[in-house]
Structure 1
Amino acid sequence: MKTPSSLAVVTALAATLLAGASTPAASAAGQDRPELRKAIQAFVDAGFTGVQVRVHDQQGEWAGSAGVRKLGQSAKPPTNGSFWAGSVIKPFTATLVLQLVADGEIALDAPVAGYLPEYELDRRITVRMLLQHTSGLFNYTGEYYDDGTVVPGIPATGDAWLPNRFRSYQPEELVRLALSKPPRFEPGTDHNYSNTNYTLALLLIEKVTGRPYAEQLQRRILRPLGMSGTMAAGTRTRLPGPHAHGYYQKEDTVVDISRQNLSLLAGAGDLIATTQDLATFSSALNDGRLLPAALLAEMRKPHPKMGYGLGLYVQDLGPGCGTVYQHNGSPPHGYGALMYSSPDGRTTLTGSVTWVDSATRGPAKDFQKLLNELVQEVFCDGPAKPAP
């Protein structure tokens, strides 16, 4: 079903914002935080349709939203609505693997081939290499090389993804496609972010435990922490409960893509979550409730190339800010998710943004700048100073 032209969408969006949706809504859970309201409003001013953010820090809890839940309507995004969280699932997958390491079921530096012989993996590839993206395995959603060469995989972005957005994939299918392609580099010699690593980690979890990944996620993390709004999406195509809508624009047609199938990112990007649940997980992980101290320390050791540990980015924000542990995410289009924590888990920032996406990513080009400003508001002492 086609939706209004891009001009009509922009007009509708402008009307709803002028009607009052541009004023960020703050949660009654905490006091007014004008600096945070300003930071999230900046996303809407830059063209994002909606944003919801939650902050836990020494001032307490604050949750707010700005923009609209759905184009053509005035309602703001829910401050704890569900959203497609994409690669935010990678720290969950890494935590499950490390819990099995703690249980003595998996050895971190053992060959993955010893657990999954059916895939005939290079025996130099270890469990640690999967979690740190140093295996060299081809990314089944395609590889983009520094010289501009592109080796396509399963359509996961752009116009080619749109007609395939409801297709279901099996994890084994994804891995076998990746293994049919030449590796990017020799195991352990470089770093390259590849979804194949985390889909293999899902298969590793299932092989060792004899149970489905989603069941292990519930039993080991979600249920103990009371995270009722989070799940591995699998082949599910609908977000549960209140949620903001994401969009994709192809030429003059704008399509509501709040329904999509993320099984093409099994264990690597198929998460549904809420801001409260992500705050709960991030805090519990970093304050030591989910892993023994030695394994949490392993998780936080960054590879020098991209600052990636075992399922976490280690980010130094500079003087007056310190270090944060984070993993953001985005499914193919229309949604982005945020998850940041201080080393002790006492300060967290979680959120979701929605926009009218396109093959050229639309307002997403401004995402990193806006995100940096929001992160600095939460984790830095006073206004951020420009780098010398």
Structure 2
Amino acid sequence: MGEPLHTVNNNRGRVPLISRRVVVTAMAATLLAGVATPGVASADSTAVPKTAAGQDSPELQKAIQEWVDAGYAGMQMRVRDQQDEWVGSAGVRKLGQTTKPPTNGRFWIGSTTKAFTATLVLQLVAEGRIGLDAPVAGYLPEFKLDQRITVRMLLQHTSGLFDYTGEHYPGGKVVPGIPAAGKDWVDNRFRTYRPQELVRLAMSKPPRFAPGTDQNYSNTNYTLALLLIEKATGRSYTEEMQRRILRPLGLSATEVPGTRTQLPGPHAHGYYRYQDADEWKVSDVTHQNLSLLAGAGDMISTTQDLQTFISALLGGKLLPARLLAEMSKPHGKLGYGLGLFVQAPGPNCPTVVHHNGSPPGGYGALMISTPDGSKTLTASITTGDAPINPAEVYPKALDRLIKEVFCGQRAAG
């Protein structure tokens, strides 16, 4: 899951990390930027953080501490520009302990996965294997898709396809899908789903609108993109991800876990607060099966690997210029291009390109960059047991962070 500028991902519970709707709203209210070149000084969780100028950076440390003060369990962050990078963390790795989150820790990146999936599709477009404006039904006839739905519409969220994790309509109407929030998700978070199963569930529901007439964030689009990649190449999505992006960029800490439920290597724990009858409970959801979000939100990475990826992508190392331009062109009410959000944080702030995300519970990922990749911010946020309201906390914390990193100013509040 995942979405606009907020971005953490598609949570629909009452107190999850960041709700999908919060994501869209916050996204419209905030943004991030950047990518970079070689650096020099960095700080681990015990060292004194440094800025690109090699000076102590109490402002950045304060910026991530504010997330913890607002109720999140922990945060690790990396900010890089053309001279250097700053790395730091705040909060705790695990509730009940005092150790900070590891700055090289792995985490579930949620909908940030969509930027990787869109890049794979566009590489196949560049090779002539897929037509960007060709009907998806021509490649995947088994799903009997509307012939008007094109590959572009999948990547741009303009297909109108029902989101298999459920839909919220104007006026408060909710049409449930596969449980992705609350007790139902906690109890079933180790269940395995096949991509075809997810798409067929979506196809059993009425579309939100006619193809191309509106825009609505839907995980179904990107699970279909996964199947499109496999049909066009004759290889698995995981193989193509390794062959085309992960190995060439040296992203050794990034992977498509499939049905594996554990985070490998160092990592912080993520928690999920939910209501069970009249009682509020908190579960450690560090282990979860994200086949629920195949191609749309299931990957694992680190702040270093996300920085390398977005820098390479926006620097033109993964796509030809014409397709990178298409990818980075904002469209519709979401300001969404082809797998990337493109927005302006506010007056006197530069445009930023991003795709944040989070799985249903426990984690949030930030991947924000300037359009040329010259400055980037990548981060992981973990939720704890505090009864926070993400609709209030997340947008404010993100707005302050973006303004600190990309606009050179502190947000009020």
TM-score, normalization: structure 1?
0.90
| Matched-pair contact (CA < 8 Å) for 1:335–1:355 | yes
Name 1:356's counterpart in structure 2. Answer: 384
Q: Which residue of 132, 135, 150 maps to 1:108?
A: 132
Q: Does 1:234 align with 2:261?
A: no
2:399 equivalent to 1:375 = no
Residues 92-139 of structure 1 deviation map (CA, whole Å, 9 limit, x = unaligned): 000000000001100100000011111111100000000000000000
Which residue in 1 is equivalent to 2:19?
none
| 1:38-53 correspondence to structure 2 within 5 Å | 38-53=62-77
Find the aligned partners of 2:110 and 2:390 in 1 and give their Cα distance. Answer: 18
* 8 Å contact from structure 2 (residues 50, 57) kept in 1: no
Amino acid at match of 1:89: T
Q: Partners in 1 of 2:280 and 2:128 — Cα distance?
A: 55
Q: Are 1:50 and 1:355, in contact at CA under 8 Å, matched by a contact in 2? A: yes
Shift of 1:248: 1.8
Specify the code of the residue in structure 1 equivalent to 2:335: G
Aligned-residue offset at 1:385: 8.1
1:203 aligned partner = 227
**Alpha-carbon distance, 1:271 to partner:** 1.0
Residue 330 of structure 1 corresponds to: 358
SS in 1 for 2:72: coil
**Larger RCO of the pair (alpha carbons < 8 Å, separation 6+):** 2
| Residue 4 of structure 2: aligned partner | none
Deviation of 1:361 (Å): 6.3
Alpha carbons of structure 1 residues 286 and 129: separation in structure 2 relative to 1, 3 Å: same
Paired with 1:79 and 1:381, the residues of 2 have a C-alpha distance of 23
1:336/1:353 contact within 8 Å kept = yes
Relative to 1, partners in 2 of residues 1:362 and 1:191: Cα closer, same or farther, differing over 3 Å?
A: same
The 2-side partners of 1:193 and 1:284 are apart by: 25
Q: Highest Rg: 1 or 2?
A: 1
Deviation at 1:362, TM superposition (A): 4.5
Residues 1:283 and 1:154: Cα distance change in structure 2 (over 3 Å): same
- Among 134, 138, 141, the alignment partner of 2:162 is 138
Aligned equivalent of 1:73: 97
Query: Secondary structure at the residue paired with 1:305?
Result: coil
One-letter amino acid of the structure 1 residue matched with residue 321 of structure 2: A
Instruction: Say whether the 8 Å CA contact 1:246–1:335 is kept in structure 2.
Output: yes
Deviates further, 181-190 or 309-318? 309-318
Q: Does 1:189 align with 2:213?
A: yes
Distance 1:324 1:147, change over 3 A: same
Aligned match for 1:366, one of 375, 393, 403: 393
Aligned position for 2:121: 97
Q: CA RMSD in A?
A: 1.9
Aligned residue among 282, 301, 307 for 1:254: 282
The TM-score, its normalising length taken from structure 2, stands at: 0.85
Question: How many pairs align?
Answer: 363
Contact 1:86 1:268 (8 Å CA) reproduced:
yes
What amino acid does structure 2 have at the position aligned with 1:356?
G
Instruction: Note if contact 1:137-1:178 (Cα within 8 Å) is conserved in structure 2.
Output: yes
**Could you give the per-residue CA deviations for residues 285-325 of structure 1, whole angstroms, max 9, x where no partner exists?**
11111110000011112113110110000011233321110
Q: Which residue of 2 aligns with 1:264?
A: 292
- Establish whether residue 273 from structure 1 lines up as the match of residue 301 from structure 2: yes
Counterpart for residue 178 of structure 2: 154
SS in 1 for 2:112: helix
User: Taking structure 1 as reference, are residues 42 and 378 closer, same or farther at Cα in structure 2, changes over 3 Å only?
Assistant: same
Take 1:231 and 1:57, find their aligned partners in 2: how far apart are those partners? Answer: 25
Deviations 1:209-239 (A, max 9, x none): 0001011011101111110111112111000
Residue number among 185, 193, 207 corresponding to 1:169 in the alignment? 193
For residue 16 of structure 1, what is the aligned residue in structure 2? none
The residue type equivalent to 1:370 in the other structure is A
Query: Aligned match of 2:142 in 118, 140, 143?
Result: 118
Separation in 2 of the partners of 1:306 and 1:316?
12
- Give the letter aligned to residue 272 of structure 1: I
User: Structure 1 80/26 Cα, relative in aligned 2: closer, same or farther at 3 Å?
Assistant: farther
| AA at the equivalent of 1:75 | T
Q: Which one of the candidate residues 87, 94, 107 is aligned to 1:63? A: 87
Uncovered stretches (5+) of structure 1, i.e. residues with no partner: 1-22
Q: Which AA in structure 1 matches 2:402?
A: V
Counterpart contact for 2:118–2:155, Cα < 8 Å: yes
In the alignment, the residues of structure 2 paired with residue 197 and residue 153 of structure 1 have an alpha-carbon distance, to the nearest angstrom, of: 15
Kept after mapping to 2: 8 A contact 1:48/1:363 = no
Provide the rounded CA distance (Å) in 1 between the counterparts of 2:159 and 2:309: 27
What is the percent sequence identity of the aligned residues?
Answer: 70
Amino acid aligned to 2:61: R
Aligned equivalents of 2:348, 2:46: Cα separation in 1: 27
Q: Verify: 1:318 aligned to 2:342, yes or no.
A: no
Alpha carbons of structure 1 residues 321 and 385: separation in structure 2 relative to 1, 3 Å:
farther
Q: Distance in 1 between matches of 2:411 and 2:173?
A: 38
Cα offset, 1:24, TM superposition: 8.1
